[in-house]
Structure 1
Amino acid sequence: MKIAAIILATLLGAVTLPAAQAQQQDATSGKPLSLVVPFSPGGPTDAMARSIVNELKDILGQTVLVDNRAGAGGNIGADYVARAVPDGQTLLFGTSGPLAINASLYKKISYDPLRSFTPIINLGYLPNVLLVHPSIPAKNVQELVNYSKANPGKLTYASSGNGASSHLAGVMFNKLAGTDLQHIPYKGTGPALNDLVGGHVSAAFTDVLTALPFIKSGKLRVLGVTTTVPSRALPDVPTVASQGVSGFDVSVFFGIVAPAGTPPDVVAKLNRAFATALKRPELAKTLAQQGLEMPSSTDPDNLRTFMASEIVRWKDVVKSSGAQLD
């Protein structure tokens, strides 16, 4: 009888051990977690993603890789994630473009920002700033508005391309301030700011992270922050809205989403991991230096609600801009 008990225990142990291993294997799926950044390496989105990934590896006990899949304003990377297996192993580091603006900007996209994805967490937003070349005789937003109205058609603003947030920010500014800044599109933020530094254009709306070196060096003058509250990275710079352009609020938000159909327990696990990472002092410090402002809530539903409101808000701005991409 003892022999039979030993045999039974051995058999149970043989069953239990693989089951435990299978459970662990299911948690990590035996492969690296892929965080898809729908833009090229080197930009602010890529920089933030890589900072967060370093913490996630430790929290999840799993290899996490950044996978840059650039093109079509973020649509290529977004489509790739939308079509991925919904097992929590392929995530999108989404931004305002693919998760809100592109739904109106492009004639046709192969995914739906709300239906194709399962929200994981709202990471926060990156304010833009209004920059001018030092030759422009305006030390604040109201002076820029007055100068523009006194010199109709003279001032120009650079953007990283038609339909980009840096373009649409100018559309919104013109509408609310009654100005007529002329839009000059470029192929990327780098060329746009290079021409602004060279004095070939008058102004630009760009993210605070990219703008900081130019502001600190004195090559460009910052007139205001485009969000309704000041930026932690530029606490002494007033908002555009507080300088007479009521209602002006432009930023780039960041959110992690998974393919639609991702199981709730997987969503909960990933949400906890990202929320834990954001609270770690070193990462929090790094993200603050990069200009990121924290969200009001890290609950997945917060991201879904915010995305829905942003889709509606940007639809009107895109319509006003006349921009439409294939």
Structure 2
Amino acid sequence: MIARRSALAAPLLLALPARAQPAGNARPVTLVVPFAPGGPTDLIARRLALSLHPLLGETVLVENRAGAGGNVGAEAVARAAPDGRTVLFGTSGPLAINRALYPGQTYDPVKDFSPIAPLGRIPNVLAVNPNIQARDVQALIALDKGGERLSFGSSGNGASSHLAGALFNRMAGTHFEHVPYRGTGPALNDALAGHVAMVFTDVLTALPHVQEGRLRALGVTTLQRSPVLPDLPTIAEQGLPGYDASVFFGLVVPAATPAAARETLRAALASALAEPELRRTLEGQGMQIASAITPGALSALMAEETERWAVVIRDTGARAD
């Protein structure tokens, strides 16, 4: 989702030098990212790995296993040895949404994983091409109700950028046409060129184009405003109360992982997220860091998001590629 690169970018496999690695743990801790390298999930995971290394006192690897909206990497972790050495850097898709999008999903996020804790959420931004004569969400809705045919681009069927638009249509009663692309870059390029009217894209991707006047941001998709764009109202504030289409991040491990190993990972994550430097980095990426770094908080989040998006997917007919 993030078009530009930052200092977080790293090679496909990030190996951090070991320190005080306990005997019997010859294998490193592997943080599996179920998406391709270079996107926001990958970049955040790599930055987190840098902080986890000294806290765990051993080697941490980041491994990308992309495919099927995150299902390929998630299934690999679900079937991994439950020894605390393989961790899924999960998102809303493989941990909640995909259950309704992929009827043939071969793992159960609740039964096959033990939650460690959430990291936080990243909002999307509704951004339109400047040629669209709308300065706020209600004006955009009025264009649709007035008969203007508008389209929105997404990074693919079933992606968060697709579901954000589907939820908008459902709540606003609009008829924006969905145009799926193979990735955020092509969707963003066509929005910049005016081939689609708008995109629902992550805040960091949108920011430079908004600042340059190449896109006009109309609203943030979370219930709270983004610290990155503090003056931009949420979509919920603009006549669609309850509208929330963000991406959450959390760590999970295979279900049978011992409690001691799970607590070691949770404590390290909590300590990492308390570091001012890491917090500044993540917040600069647009993340709203979770207030409770506990397994229960992630379990509740997964259950809530699974139920909420199942209704949206059922009512809108959204389908994955």
Query: TM above 0.5, one fold?
Result: yes
Distance, in Å, in 2 between the alignment partners of 1:63 and 1:85 is: 18
Q: 1:170 to 1:151 in 2, by over 3 A?
A: same
Cα shift at 1:187: 0.7
The code of the aligned residue for 1:110 comes to T
The code of the aligned residue for 1:188 comes to G
Distance, in Å, in 1 between the alignment partners of 2:169 and 2:319 is: 19
Cα distance per residue 1:79-100 (max 9 Å; x no partner): 0000000111000000011001
- Structure 2 unaligned segments of length 5 or more: list them: 1-20
Hey, what does 1:159 align to over in structure 2?
154
Distance, in Å, in 2 between the alignment partners of 1:188 and 1:312 is: 26
- Tell me if structure 2 keeps the 8 A contact 1:171–1:320: no
The code of the aligned residue for 2:126 comes to L
Whether 2:113 is the aligned partner of 1:110: answer no
Hey, what does 1:252 align to over in structure 2?
247
The code of the aligned residue for 2:299 comes to R
- Tell me if structure 1 keeps the 8 A contact 2:120–2:290: yes
Hey, what does 2:23 align to over in structure 1?
25
Hey, what does 2:222 align to over in structure 1?
227
Which of 134, 138, 150 matches 2:134?
Answer: 138
Cα shift at 1:251: 0.1
- Tell me if structure 2 keeps the 8 A contact 1:148–1:179: yes
User: If you compute each CA radius of gyration, which structure gives the higher value, 1 or 2?
Assistant: 1
The code of the aligned residue for 1:89 comes to R
SS in 2 for 1:25: coil
The 5 Å alignment of 1:51-90 reads 51-90=47-86
SS in 2 for 1:137: coil
Cα distance per residue 1:18-38 (max 9 Å; x no partner): xxxxx9324xx1121100000
Which of 268, 274, 280 matches 1:279?
Answer: 274
Distance, in Å, in 1 between the alignment partners of 2:280 and 2:241 is: 31
Aligned length in residues: 301
- Tell me if structure 1 keeps the 8 A contact 2:29–2:85: yes
Q: Following TM superposition, where does structure 1 have runs of at least 4 consecutive aligned residues deviating by more than 4 angstroms?
A: none
Cα distance per residue 1:45-67 (max 9 Å; x no partner): 01100111111111111110110
SS in 2 for 1:91: strand
Whether 2:179 is the aligned partner of 1:181: answer no
Cα shift at 1:325: 4.0
Which of 149, 166, 170 matches 2:165?
Answer: 170
Cα shift at 1:296: 2.8
Cα shift at 1:151: 2.2
Hey, what does 2:304 align to over in structure 1?
309
Larger relative helix fraction: 1
- Tell me if structure 1 keeps the 8 A contact 2:117–2:293: yes
Cα distance per residue 1:188-214 (max 9 Å; x no partner): 111100110010000111111222222
Hey, what does 2:213 align to over in structure 1?
218
The code of the aligned residue for 2:194 comes to G
Distance, in Å, in 2 between the alignment partners of 1:281 and 1:45 is: 20
Cα distance per residue 1:212-233 (max 9 Å; x no partner): 2222222111000011110111
Distance, in Å, in 2 between the alignment partners of 1:316 and 1:308 is: 13
Whether 2:120 is the aligned partner of 1:124: answer yes
Hey, what does 2:285 align to over in structure 1?
290
Overall identity of the aligned pairs, in %: 55
Cα distance per residue 1:102-142 (max 9 Å; x no partner): 00001211100111101011000001110100000011111
Hey, what does 1:93 align to over in structure 2?
89
The code of the aligned residue for 1:125 comes to R
Hey, what does 1:16 align to over in structure 2?
none
The code of the aligned residue for 1:38 comes to P
- Tell me if structure 1 keeps the 8 A contact 2:170–2:316: no
Distance, in Å, in 1 between the alignment partners of 2:192 and 2:144 is: 19
Whether 2:31 is the aligned partner of 1:35: answer yes
SS in 1 for 2:22: helix
Hey, what does 1:193 align to over in structure 2?
188
- Tell me if structure 1 keeps the 8 A contact 2:163–2:318: no
Whether 2:205 is the aligned partner of 1:207: answer no
